[in-house]
Homo-oligomer: A and B are copies of this chain.
């Protein structure tokens, strides 16, 4: 299969590697910045391009992996006839690709990617969608080459999944960053928290998180919470987050029992 990667960021990089390892050809890598295109193309034995005029029109699959707000504009410029074209965005509907091809779809790998850290694609859920059952089936078969966890979702379901991923990954990582900031003010190393973080993630692999909740809020331990808020009194942002998250823990447990 011949693939064109439209984009050269974290997702394009990891997807390109994974397809390459699965024996597919990445014939071109496009980026508006030719240096970015070249950097990724070089690792994939591929041709870098920065002008869509140079696009290979005979590839089997065109994958748009760019910032969400750039997808629609790119889709307007990309006309690939009856070739398959997909985007990789969790929060963007499939419909933005209409007009680019008769065969459009979505190929959303649910993972947090960086350029430097490789990931095992076999374990990454891939949410797919196609504009016809045949297209969905084709995309499903392509995704099956990379992952054991391919699932067909509607655009609505995929958007909910993406929001859930922001809570479970992006916001979670930010809480780690805030905790590191708190420690550094006391000259304490973040290493102290790393085993706790590993265990927190590990506990929810076999259990529902709501049953694993610990800490002062779920115990309704007001004196500990008051002591914490007192210590955060000169950090209004952290204090507010502490209050809102603690209240949300109480609310969720009331909802789940109600």
Contacts and interface: CB of A to CB of B under 8 A. Distances in A.
Interface of A: 10, 67-69, 91, 110-114, 117, 119, 123-125, 127, 149, 151, 153, 156-157, 159-183, 185-188, 190-205, 208-210, 212-219, 221, 223-224, 227-228, 231-232, 237-238, 240-242, 244-245, 248-249, 251-252
A192 B219 CA distance: 29
For the complex of A and B, the 7 pairs showing the least CB-CB separation, nearest first, are A170-B215, A201-B201, A176-B209, A164-B179, A177-B209, A168-B179, A167-B179
Classify the interface of chain A: helix, strand, loop or mixed. Answer: helix
23 contacts: A10-B214, A68-B223, A91-B227, A111-B196, A114-B212, A125-B191, A156-B186, A157-B187, A164-B180, A164-B183, A165-B193, A166-B216, A167-B241, A168-B196, A168-B200, A170-B217, A170-B249, A173-B200, A175-B175, A180-B208, A197-B201, A197-B204, A201-B201
Nearest to A205: B194
A124 B191 CA distance: 11
Given A160-B186, A200-B173, A201-B197, A125 B167 contact: no
